[in-house]
Amino acid sequence: MMAIVRSSELPVSDQDAQLTRERTPVRIAAIGDIHLHAAIPADLAGRLQVLDDEVDLFVLAGDLTDGGRIPEAELVSELLRDLHTPKIAVLGNHDRRGPRRVAMRRLIESAGVALLDGSSRVIELTDGRRIAIAGVGGYGGGFWPDETPDVPGARISKAVGIRARREAGRLDKALDAIDHVEVAARIVVMHYAPTSSTLGAEPPLKYWMLGNSLLGRVIDHHDVDLVIHGHAHLGNELGQTPGGTPVRNVAMHVTGGPVVYGITRPREIATLSRLPLIPNAATHDLIEFSGGSTT
């Protein structure tokens, strides 16, 4: 029978090493909405190369392509192929516009990208720590009555409501699969927003197109350290679900480029570095929201 050694029984040096590992932040480089179309921006490729091997995980929050076309997916593959750091991504609404979705997915995955779609992945780092990440594209539907007032004229259709509930259910199952894994960080990545707190200057009449509160409810039923999303180009970076789970909108129009976050359990999120490409991105918010309208 294998003996179980509790941390209190470890030699002092081993206890110190274990505590050091536990307090070392997991480093996540995140970006979304790069919308590759005709060429790879040289600055973007350079920024990602700088971060390679300096972070533990690359997270891409959808809309990697501008129209889901095969030549655009080839650019995504070229951009990411030579990065050695593990790469996790979800697809966005622009990625799903093209007719050859299976071929597009295969091209992106050929660059070593794990595409999550109602699924999860556990990544083990070289020091033995593990990152668990669940991913889903998400969908619209709005945030009433959880976070925002009902907006006249913005009632969603039955079809949108069905799709929103389906995506929330798929996320719930993906999180169920990693709930009991001992990890250094548990992350959710999606394209649509799970909260209105990161929608910033987006018009309230568009909220139903930008995400839905069902996603936030699911997240708050699980032990999640950080949620990463994109899609809301006029949004703000920092937010949180009504239950207090930290949320980051990493659409490139918002952050200006890749952002590196440090995650220390439970839910301690630090911004470690920024590598801006867009000088006038809307990085104007520096507060955490706890629900309610942002306008």
User: How much is the pTM?
Assistant: 0.87
Q: How would you class 93 by CB atoms within 10 Å of its CB: exposed for 0-12, middle for 13-18, buried for 19 or more?
A: middle
Is the pLDDT at 289 greater than 50, yes or no?
A: no
Kind of pairing, strands 246-249 and 130-136?
A: unpaired
Q: Look up residue 77 and give its DSSP letter.
A: H
The pLDDT tens digits of the residues spanning 141-179 come to 999 888 876 655 455 677 888 899 999 999 999 999 999
Residues of the domain holding 206: 26-274
- Contact by Cβ (8 Å): 238, 212: no
Helical pair 42-51 and 70-80, crossing angle rounded to 10 deg: 40
Does 291 reside within a domain?
Answer: no
pLDDT score at 159: 83
Residues 6+ apart with CB under 8 A from 170: 117, 118, 136
Closest CA to 230 of 66, 88, 75, 93: 93
Cis peptide before 242 (omega within 30 of 0): no
Q: What's the structural domain count of the chain?
A: 1
Selected residue with higher pLDDT from 293 and 164 = 164
Residue 31 lies in a domain: yes
SS3 264: strand
Give the pLDDT mean for 183-211: 96
CA distances in angstroms from 258 to 11, 269, 275, 286, 293, listed in the order given: 41, 16, 6, 17, 27
Domain presence at residue 3:
no
Rounded to whole angstroms, the Cα distance separating 64 from 31 reads 10
Pairing verdict, β 238-240 and 185-190:
unpaired
Is residue 281, in this structure, part of any structural domain at all?
no
Average pLDDT on 52-79 reads: 97
Domain contains 295: no
Find the CATH number of the domain harbouring 31.
3.60.21.10
Q: With the CA atoms of 147, 268, 54 and 278 taken in that order, what torsion angle do they form, in degrees rounded to the nearest 10?
A: 30
| DSSP class of 145 | T
- Higher pLDDT: 277 or 13? It is 277
C-alpha to C-alpha distance for 220 and 206, rounded to whole angstroms: 24
In a domain? residue 287: no
Whether pLDDT at 292 is above 50: no
Q: Is residue 2 part of a domain?
A: no
Interatomic CA distance for residues 289 and 244, integer angstroms? 9
